[in-house]
């Protein structure tokens, strides 16, 4: 069972007291997923929220003839908030990168807690909404939620079309062919309709993925 000290590593739980965190710990289920194992499928009706204790999680969408890569989440991140709040089908899928250990809070358990401590549940939902707002602001600002090297490598491997905006004011609809941020002068190589362009990484302001309709 997760400890209340471990829960405090998550931003949404930082302001809660010991008693509340201990009760959350008692309701959390723990689950382990192997490399590449699907945690949730988009369009399914599950409403649990997930806490990443260890390992990493890939968030993606299955589009006709393509896989749209969205983000990589790290330990102390959470996911599944949208369906937890609105009770609608999952808007994206999640799979494990390496072995992952997760805490799972089912909505039925939250309903039980709501009867016991309604004030705590209101505060908890406020923290969830803050987390959702942070993510939505990042997306609306044209930033990937997690701009990790793994994210870039996945975009390269999947040949996912993206829009790259640069500090010079130029936007490119392209696929990423190569990226190395370990060099003295990090570069990113892109393909724009068959033309290879090399951009210094410091000039890249954002890398934006298409929406569900394929538009940027």
pLDDT digits (tens, 9 = 90+) for 102-125: 999 999 898 988 898 899 899 999
Structure tokens at 118: 């309604």
- Span 40-53, average pLDDT: 89
* pLDDT tens digits for range 160-199: 888 888 888 899 999 998 887 666 778 889 999 999 999 8
77-104 burial, b for 16+ CB within 10 Å, e for fewer?
bbbbbbbbeeeeebebbbbbbeebbbbb
- The verdict on pTM exceeding 0.75 is no
Domains of the chain: 4-140 (2.60.120.10), 149-208 (2.30.30.100)
Contact 81, 34 (CB under 8 A): no
Give the residue-averaged pLDDT of 71-95.
Answer: 85
CA 57 to chain centroid, in Å, comes to 8
Distance separating the N- and C-terminal Cα atoms of the chain = 43
Q: 75 burial class (0-12, 13-18, 19+ CB within 10 angstroms)?
A: middle
Q: What is the pLDDT of residue 82?
A: 85
| CA dihedral sign of residues 78, 83, 87, 93 | negative
CB atoms within 10 A of CB 12: 20
């Amino acid at each position: 069972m997760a400890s209340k000290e471990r829960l405090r590593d998550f931003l949404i739980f930082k302001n809660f007291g010991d008693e509340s965190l201990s009760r959350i710990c008692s309701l959390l289920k723990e689950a382990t997923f192997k490399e590449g194992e699907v945690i949730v499928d988009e369009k399914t009706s599950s409403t649990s929220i997930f806490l990443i204790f260890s390992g990493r999680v890939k968030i993606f969408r299955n589009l006709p003839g393509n896989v749209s890569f969205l983000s990589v989440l790290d330990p102390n991140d959470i996911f599944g908030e949208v369906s937890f709040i609105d009770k609608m089908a999952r808007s994206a899928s999640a799979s494990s990168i390496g072995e992952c250990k997760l805490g799972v809070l089912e909505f039925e358990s939250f309903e039980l807690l709501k009867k016991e401590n309604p004030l705590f549940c209101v505060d908890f939902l406020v923290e969830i909404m803050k987390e959702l707002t942070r993510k939505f602001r990042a997306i609306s600002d044209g930033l990937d939620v997690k701009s990790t090297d793994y994210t870039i490598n996945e975009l390269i491997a999947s040949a996912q079309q993206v829009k790259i905006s640069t500090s010079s004011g130029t936007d490119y609809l392209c696929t990423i062919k190569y990226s190395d941020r370990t060099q003295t002068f990090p570069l990113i190589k892109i393909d724009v309709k068959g033309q290879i362009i090399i951009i210094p990484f410091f000039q890249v302001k954002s890398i934006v993925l298409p929406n569900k309709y394929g538009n940027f």
